[in-house]
């Protein structure tokens, strides 16, 4: 497949996916998260957005990005979490001229990502069958709430709904005998997991293409992903036969492994084996627990969870979190604080790992972003493109990638196609 030159304003990426080209037709989080991952790994990613409106998350504020004068820009902070490394091209795909642009771009690309409803792009001739006829090497990834098949296929799917339907909320929150009930996770983890699965699936398909010479269709469903990432809780049910319950911050298979109140706040204890439990007993000055048959091994501690955790709670209320954390760290007992998000980004370990990067932006001067956690030894991730303002690469892509003339671009803009 032949690649045309990069637009004037964009420098070629470095990284393991350098040379690959992605058409990101997705919105909100799951699809854009996958597209951002591919961009971080070096792919050239063109984000298709609706003229004048753009990705839904551009308006999901406050807060909004502030310009150099301190005034709000049009884009909400939410948008910036999932769209760095991309070029924004505005296209009205409901119009034949807009569809032609997508055909032309898809003909040059290795990957297309979309998260429209089932058959949502078929009426525009932008479904896999239509696009693959133009480019049989294309890897086409569709992300929906429930997949392309099954009785729920036509339903809209959102992360919150899927956390409930997929069992996550049944194991998240306070136990039945305490107030509170089921709660969702504080970030849209089903969307994020789906984005990560999509990025993995796409790269697998690209690797397979080296053998077959062909692309393929990827059908990803949020509900499938949520079922998959139930992990040990799913195995506890499928193999053990017991339906997992909500345990608050406790672990279903390990004790003590939860948050405990101290004299001033809370700490987490994550005791993963019997040796660590012995060291915990030493730190708590409770050597008799080591030989107590209720607590000697983990399976016994799980069986007598309530008694043991109640006794630990009484101990921990006697000192501050700082005092306990120091004592546990000295005893080599896995432990930690419950940090607020501002504390996370001032944590010396996060700072040492360069988990905040600043990317140049023409509006704000620079934008702080959470870095990709992948650390390559030879092909480090390079952050060259901030999440784009709406449509900033439209002219460049049309002119340089598709060889449109200035008059053709003007005519499309006059008709609100771009």
In a 3-state reduction of DSSP, which class is residue 237? Answer: helix
Whether 337 and 268 have beta carbons less than 8 Å apart is answered as yes
Under 8 Å CB-to-CB from 349, ≥6 apart: which residues?
none
> What spatial distance separates the first Cα and last Cα of the chain, rounded to whole Å?
26
Closest CA to 270 of 260, 262, 261: 260
- Assign 3-class secondary structure to 19-68: CCEEEECCCCCHHHHHHHHHHHCCCEEEEEECCCCCCHHHHCCCCEEECC
- Among residues 75, 191, 224, 395, the one annotated as catalytic is 191
191 as an active site residue: the answer is yes
What is the C-alpha to C-alpha distance for residues 105 and 94, in angstroms, rounded to an integer?
16
SS3 content of the chain, % helix, strand, coil (to 5): 40, 15, 45
Taken as a whole, the chain contains a residue count of 418
Give, to the nearest 10 degrees, the angle between helix 30-40 and helix 189-212.
50
Q: Which helix (H) or strand (E) holds 217?
A: strand 217-221
Pairing of strands 21-24, 72-76: unpaired
Whether 146 and 221 have beta carbons less than 8 Å apart is answered as yes
Strand ranges across the sheet with 257-261: 257-261, 266-270, 335-337
What is the C-alpha to C-alpha distance for residues 36 and 367, in angstroms, rounded to an integer?
16
Q: What residues act catalytically?
A: 191
């Amino acid at each position: 497949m032949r690649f045309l030159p990069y637009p004037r304003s964009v420098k070629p990426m470095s990284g393991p996916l350098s040379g690959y080209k992605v058409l990101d037709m997705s919105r909100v989080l799951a699809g854009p998260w996958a597209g951002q991952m591919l961009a971080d790994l070096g792919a050239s990613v063109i984000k298709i957005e609706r003229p004048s409106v753009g990705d839904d998350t551009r308006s999901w504020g406050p807060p909004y990005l502030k310009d150099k004068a301190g005034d709000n820009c049009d884009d909400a902070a939410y948008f910036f979490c999932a769209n760095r490394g991309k070029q924004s091209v505005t296209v009205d795909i409901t119009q034949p001229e807009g569809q032609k642009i997508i055909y032309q771009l898809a003909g040059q690309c290795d990957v297309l990502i979309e998260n429209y409803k089932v058959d949502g792009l078929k009426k525009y001739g932008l479904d896999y069958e239509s696009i693959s006829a133009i480019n049989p090497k294309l890897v086409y990834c569709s992300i929906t709430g429930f997949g392309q098949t099954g009785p729920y296929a036509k339903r809209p799917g959102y992360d919150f709904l899927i956390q409930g339907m997929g069992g996550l909320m049944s194991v998240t929150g306070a136990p039945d005998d305490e107030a509170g009930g089921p709660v969702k996770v504080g970030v849209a983890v089903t969307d994020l997991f789906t984005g990560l699965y999509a990025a993995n699936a796409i790269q697998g398909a690209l690797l397979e293409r080296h053998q077959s010479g062909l692309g393929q269709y990827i059908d990803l469903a949020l509900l499938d992903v949520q079922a998959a990432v139930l992990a040990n809780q799913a195995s506890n049910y499928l193999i053990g036969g017991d339906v997992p319950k909500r345990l608050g911050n406790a672990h279903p298979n390990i004790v003590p492994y939860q948050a405990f109140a101290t004299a001033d706040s809370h700490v987490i204890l994550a005791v993963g084996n019997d040796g660590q439990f012995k060291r915990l007993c030493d730190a708590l000055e409770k050597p008799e627990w080591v030989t107590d048959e209720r607590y000697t091994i983990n399976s016994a501690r799980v069986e007598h969870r309530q008694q043991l955790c109640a006794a630990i709670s009484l101990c921990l209320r006697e000192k501050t979190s700082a005092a306990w954390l120091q004592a546990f760290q000295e005893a080599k007992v896995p432990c930690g604080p419950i940090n607020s998000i501002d504390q996370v980004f001032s944590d010396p370990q996060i700072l040492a790992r360069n988990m905040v990067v600043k990317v140049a932006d023409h509006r704000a001067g620079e934008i702080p972003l959470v870095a990709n956690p992948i650390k390559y030894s030879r092909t480090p991730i390079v952050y060259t493109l901030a999440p784009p303002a709406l449509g900033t690469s439209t002219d460049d892509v049309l002119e340089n990638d598709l060889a449109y003339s200035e008059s053709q671009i003007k005519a499309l803009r006059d008709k609100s196609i771009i």
